[in-house]
């Protein structure tokens, strides 16, 4: 059911995201500038200034206020999006938790970037991981095209009656936000029809009667209300699968929760989030050419964690290298911990690799090395790929 693409433009991930926002035509977009997210809001501000969307753009004084205004706008009854990165997301996190708890379906575009200190503006997943347990859903795009497609898909996921949660759409800072590549945009009307009308129960404006949002819950009710949040996040996996299928039917682009690449008969595989998938695919292709049975799994859906789908995707893999672009000092890093729990009892051996903190490049040579290490017994509890001193051969 593939369709003929009408518009393909050379765009960065940030610009592609701004186009998706223009086509979604959110009612309210409260934003605050931060590298490397800024080109999203700059491009979007230009669209508003040129009358390409009638969004009310709020230039707030901090990301904390951006997310606060977003929760107010979303629960008032307007479709709401915002964008942030790094310290901005860190400042927002208090309200991201509240947005999830109050079931405010705000879409948050994230240009994933390292956290201070020292301050660093480059690609890294530490900011996303800080919000990991907030109840906000998390999607990670591999490239500009996916940043666009996942952003178009996000409002439907956020606003689904079984979900009603914020959705973060992550794209690696600079690797995706600032890298230009051909992006096939949908027609404006197609996006409009796909996202449809924004509807939430009991909005502050235009509701059936007065409703109170954000009330005070004592120990006799807080647990149950939080449990409803857990159920909603878990329900989002199925909703995502359905939306991905619908998106493929309508627009000919299929973005399953897990991107399984050359996993047929694979014995060793890598598990990644985000832009590392592109480099990893090249390496897998090369090694397959050399007769090695290797494959790649890239998660597009990170929260909820697609546990059963991951198990099903493993096939005959015996060793899985999990690549984290974040750390959890004093413990295993987040993606590894999630995968380890999901695959416990399967007999698959998991290895933890940390790479790319603060924008350190991940080379094809380093990934070849990781896959070749997977063929041998583990050399370290956690391998820091590209770290000077530990990994002088890994190249940086």
- Whose Cβ is closer to other proteins: residue 96's or residue 357's? 96
Binding characters for other proteins, 64-83, by CB under 8 A (x = yes): xxx-xxxxxxxxxxx-x---
- Whose Cβ is closer to other proteins: residue 60's or residue 348's? 60
User: Would you mind telling me the total number of residues written for the chain in this entry?
Assistant: 396
Interaction of residue 228 with other proteins, rule CB under 8 A: no
Segment 30 to 59, residues that bind other proteins, using CB under 8 A: 30, 54-56, 58-59
Segment 101 to 160, residues that bind other proteins, using CB under 8 A: 102
- Whose Cβ is closer to other proteins: residue 61's or residue 290's? 61
Residue 171 dihedral angles phi and psi, to the nearest 5°? -140, 140
Spatial neighbors of 117 by CB under 8 A, at least 6 apart, are none
Minimum distance of other proteins from residue 150's CB (angstroms):
24
Task: Tell me how many residues contact other proteins (CB under 8 A).
Answer: 45
Residue 290 dihedral angles phi and psi, to the nearest 5°? -95, 10
Binds other proteins by CB under 8 A, chosen from 5, 27, 292, 307: 27
Cβ atoms 145, 180 nearer than 8 A? no
Minimum distance of other proteins from residue 23's CB (angstroms):
16
Provide the angle, in degrees to the nearest 10, between the axes of the packed helices 144-159 and 222-251. 130
Minimum distance of other proteins from residue 200's CB (angstroms):
11
**Beta pairing partners, 170:** 110, 140
Interaction of residue 95 with other proteins, rule CB under 8 A: yes
Whole-angstrom distance, CA of residue 123 vs CA of residue 114: 6
Minimum distance of other proteins from residue 163's CB (angstroms):
20
Interaction of residue 195 with other proteins, rule CB under 8 A: no
Token reading at 258? 């897990």
Minimum distance of other proteins from residue 218's CB (angstroms):
7
Q: Residue 26's closest CA among 154, 141, 146?
A: 154
Half-sphere exposure of 36 (CA within 13 A, CB side): 29
- Whose Cβ is closer to other proteins: residue 35's or residue 80's? 80
First to last CA, the chain: 43
- Whose Cβ is closer to other proteins: residue 67's or residue 183's? 67
Cβ atoms 113, 275 nearer than 8 A? no
- Whose Cβ is closer to other proteins: residue 62's or residue 372's? 62
Whole-angstrom distance, CA of residue 122 vs CA of residue 138: 20
- Whose Cβ is closer to other proteins: residue 54's or residue 264's? 54
Minimum distance of other proteins from residue 158's CB (angstroms):
16
Helix, coil or strand: residue 146: helix
Whole-angstrom distance, CA of residue 159 vs CA of residue 24: 13
Cβ atoms 258, 297 nearer than 8 A? yes
Minimum distance of other proteins from residue 129's CB (angstroms):
22
Minimum distance of other proteins from residue 77's CB (angstroms):
6
Binding characters for other proteins, 199-218, by CB under 8 A (x = yes): -----xxxx--xxxxxxxxx
Which residues bind to other proteins, rule: CB under 8 A? 27-28, 30, 54-56, 58-62, 64-66, 68-78, 80, 94-95, 98, 102, 204-207, 210-218, 221, 225
């Amino acid at each position: 059911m593939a369709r003929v693409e009408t518009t393909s433009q050379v765009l960065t991930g940030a610009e592609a995201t701004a186009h998706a926002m223009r086509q979604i035509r959110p009612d309210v977009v409260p934003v605050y500038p931060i590298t490397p997210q800024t080109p999203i809001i700059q491009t979007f501000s230009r669209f508003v200034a040129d009358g390409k969307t009638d969004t009310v753009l709020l230039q707030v004084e901090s990301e904390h206020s951006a997310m606060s205004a977003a929760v107010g706008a979303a629960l008032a009854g307007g479709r709401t999006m915002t964008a942030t990165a790094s310290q901005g997301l860190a400042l927002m996190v208090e309200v991201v938790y509240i947005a999830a708890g109050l079931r405010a379906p705000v879409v948050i575009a994230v240009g994933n970037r390292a956290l201070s200190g020292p301050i660093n503006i480059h690609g890294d997943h530490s900011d996303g991981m800080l919000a990991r347990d907030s109840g906000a859903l998390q999607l990670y795009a591999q490239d500009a095209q996916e940043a666009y497609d996942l952003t178009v898909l996000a409002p439907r996921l956020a606003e689904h009656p079984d979900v009603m949660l914020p959705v973060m759409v992550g794209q690696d800072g600079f690797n995706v936000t600032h890298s230009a590549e051909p992006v096939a945009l949908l027609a404006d009307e197609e996006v409009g029809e796909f996202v449809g009308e924004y509807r939430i129960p009991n909005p502050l404006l235009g509701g059936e009667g007065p409703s109170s949002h954000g009330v005070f819950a004592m120990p006799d009710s807080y647990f149950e209300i939080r449990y409803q949040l857990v159920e909603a996040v878990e329900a989002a996996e199925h909703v995502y699968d359905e939306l991905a299928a619908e998106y493929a039917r309508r627009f000919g682009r299929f973005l399953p929760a897990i991107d399984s690449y050359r996993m047929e008969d694979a014995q060793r595989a890598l598990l990644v989030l985000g832009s590392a998938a592109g480099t990893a695919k090249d390496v897998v292709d090369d090694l397959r050419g050399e007769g090695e049975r290797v494959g790649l799994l890239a998660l597009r859906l990170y929260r909820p964690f697609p546990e059963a789908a991951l198990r099903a995707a493993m096939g005959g893999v015996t060793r899985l290298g999990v690549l984290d672009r974040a750390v959890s000092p004093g413990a295993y890093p987040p993606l590894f911990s999630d995968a380890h729990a999901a695959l416990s009892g399967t007999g698959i051996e998991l290895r933890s690799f940390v790479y790319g903190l603060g924008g350190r490049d991940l080379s094809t040579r380093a990934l070849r090395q990781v896959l070749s290490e997977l063929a041998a017994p583990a050399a370290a509890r956690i391998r820091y790929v590209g770290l000077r001193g530990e990994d002088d051969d890994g190249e940086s």
